[in-house]
Amino acid sequence: MSAAGVKVLAFDTFGTVTDWFTGISGAVARILPEVDAAEFTREWRRRYAPILARVESGELGWRGLDDLQTETLHDVATLFGVAPDDDQVRALVRAWRTIPGWPDAAEGIRRLKRGFIVCALSNGSVALLTDMARHNDFAWDVIGGSDLWHHYKPARETYCGLAELLEVQPSEVMMVATHQNDLDAARSFGLRTAFVERPDEWGGAPKDDSGSPDNDVHATDLLDLARRLGC
């Protein structure tokens, strides 16, 4: 464990502190009862990273996450042969604001806050992440939403933008995520990294939780991370 000099913990949110599969599949089952909610949810989530990458590549101009999720939702609905109306689309997109935290998340964040500045660093907007935090009692010090920088992870501007905002060096920030690509990007920009296992992220579908040996810390959940970081 090498967290010496770390002042800030930056948490990925979707998957790392919240259980999007349970939250979204529940909303899909309620709003679109005619589809297989689990498969619909996984397919929607698979289209998340690719459309953000199209913004970062410059193919699409800056657009907020809700707009991108609306576009991919329409694509998935077509694939599943359903045509949700505007209210249903809005309800499904808004459902990402109230997905539940993992059982250890709120308490883990609270414990880690004793020793570190704790921040969300997510591709959600500040408003979305504020709703998520209030819904789940996440005691963030600072909410780093993609709209602060008009960039999506794994873009450098998000990781280094948070460090700049908090007036620390990138090496004083530790990225906490259950996605190795997020951590690999963070490390490439000088941040430290902590992998958190979330074997149920995809609702029973396979998930690689091995984590790279390059990570500074590997934890089974946020309470374990707190113990490993001495909080």
Site for its own copies in 119-138 (CB under 8 A): 125-127, 130, 133-134
β-partners of residue 8 are: 117, 173
At 54, the amino acid letter reads R
Q: Over the range 133-142, which residues count as b (16 or more CB within 10 Å of their CB) and which as e?
A: beebebebeb
> Least separation, in Å, of the C-beta of 121 and its own copies?
13
β-partners of residue 193 are: 175
Given 167, 206, 213, 230, the residue binding its own copies (CB under 8 A): 167
If binding is defined by CB under 8 A, does position 91 make contact with its own copies?
Answer: no
Segment contacting its own copies by CB under 8 A, of 47-55, 70-78, 142-150, 190-198:
142-150
If binding is defined by CB under 8 A, does position 117 make contact with its own copies?
Answer: yes
If binding is defined by CB under 8 A, does position 147 make contact with its own copies?
Answer: yes
CB 207 within 8 A of CB 198: yes
Structure tokens at 172: 């004083």
Q: 3-state DSSP call for residue 101? A: strand
By C-alpha distance, which of 194, 210, 214 is closest to 9? Answer: 194
If binding is defined by CB under 8 A, does position 1 make contact with its own copies?
Answer: no
> Least separation, in Å, of the C-beta of 180 and its own copies?
29
Q: Whose Cβ is closer to its own copies: residue 31's or residue 142's? A: 142
Given 68, 92, 95, 143, the residue binding its own copies (CB under 8 A): 143
Q: Whose Cβ is closer to its own copies: residue 84's or residue 124's? A: 124
If binding is defined by CB under 8 A, does position 171 make contact with its own copies?
Answer: no
By C-alpha distance, which of 140, 117, 111 is closest to 231? Answer: 111
Q: Whose Cβ is closer to its own copies: residue 35's or residue 95's? A: 95
If binding is defined by CB under 8 A, does position 165 make contact with its own copies?
Answer: yes
> Least separation, in Å, of the C-beta of 122 and its own copies?
14
Q: Whose Cβ is closer to its own copies: residue 165's or residue 223's? A: 165
Task: For 15, list phi and psi in degrees, rounded to 5.
Answer: 105, -40
By C-alpha distance, which of 149, 169, 167 is closest to 158? Answer: 149
Q: 3-state DSSP call for residue 5? A: coil
Structure tokens at 126: 């500040």
β-partners of residue 217 are: 194
Binding residues for its own copies (CB under 8 A)? 117, 125-127, 130, 133-134, 139, 141-143, 145, 147-148, 165-168
